[in-house]
Amino acid sequence: MSFRDKTLEVSESNRFQNFILLIISLNAVTIGLQTFDLGDKNNQMLDMLDNLFLWIFVVELFIRIHAHRIRFFGQGDNLFDFVIVVASLAPQAGPWSVLRVFRVFRALRLITSMPEMQRMVEAMLRSLRAIGAIGWLLCLVLYVFSVMATILYGDGGPNGELYFGNLGLSLYSLFQIMTLESWSHGIARLIIEEQGWEAAIFFIGYILCTSFTFLNMFIAVFTNTLAAIDIEEGDEQGFSRMHNEIKAEISELKVMISELNQKFDSTSEE
């Protein structure tokens, strides 16, 4: 067995992949611990562990590149791993030291190591076009309501001027309301006290149009994309299993209908 065959066998073995997954998890913990002031001795030990993990990643990268050669750079997750590891090799001092901040992205390698997380990321990327369209529609709705709020409540009192005195303030205030963060006691009730309960209709209608409607639209787009990916993989799990069962039932129905048509035709001939 050649050296390349050995590296290929090692890189694709479950034990090697599980070991790297463990190292990634431990490295994520050590990077988080380095943000605390644990004393010089502990910080020095964490730095040593971080460097050890880094060189393990370098060796892993060498094994995978040697095993797959140029094909290694043909996949996006491999390029992501390569860039993160190379950026982590930047010196701790000098103009290139800023690149070492990217070592925190090593924790994101958990995504490339777990198929379930890869599926989620793929669904998110595929949904970007539809999410962008929904986002533009949300911006239009937010703009319309902001203009209305500025006209209706901008001159109605101190709180109206504070939250809806101009278009910029209205956009920010309505964005806060859309997130449902302190919208009732923080903004809505103050405006209602100044300008009457008619203002409640505006805020309730706005929340129904944005927080509830658009949130469900985002969820629906992501769920549909995730279901499409699941069906494409055909792994007999989740949506893929349901899709295959429905196809099988439709095929059975077609056979039954065909048999009934044949019986009907034979009866008619008699």
69 in a structural domain:
yes
202 and 252 inside one domain: no
User: What is the value of pTM for the model shown?
Assistant: 0.58
Domain with residue 75: its CATH number is 1.20.120.350
Q: How far apart are CA 172 and CA 67, in angstroms?
A: 53
> When comparing pLDDT for 173 and 254, which is higher?
173
62 in a structural domain:
yes
120 in a structural domain:
no
pLDDT value at residue 266:
66
10 and 109 inside one domain: yes
Cα–Cα distances in Å, from 19 out to 11, 79, 239, 247?
A: 11, 20, 31, 40
Which domain range does residue 186 map to?
A: 128-230
Cα–Cα distances in Å, from 149 out to 167, 191, 196, 199?
A: 9, 11, 14, 9
107 and 164 inside one domain: no
DSSP assigned state of 248: H
pLDDT tens-digit series, residues 183-213:
888 888 888 888 888 888 999 999 988 888 8
91 and 167 inside one domain: no
Q: Which of 113, 144, 165 is the last residue of a domain?
A: 113
87 in a structural domain:
yes
89 and 13 inside one domain: yes
255 and 216 inside one domain: no
pLDDT value at residue 2:
74
118 in a structural domain:
no
224 and 240 inside one domain: no
19 and 42 inside one domain: yes
101 and 185 inside one domain: no
119 in a structural domain:
no
225 and 254 inside one domain: no
> When comparing pLDDT for 11 and 114, which is higher?
11
65 in a structural domain:
yes
Q: How far apart are CA 96 and CA 99, in angstroms?
A: 6
Q: How many domains does the chain have?
A: 3
121 in a structural domain:
no
pLDDT tens-digit series, residues 54-99:
888 888 888 888 888 788 787 777 787 788 888 777 666 656 656 6
Domain with residue 181: its CATH number is 1.10.287.70
51 and 79 inside one domain: yes
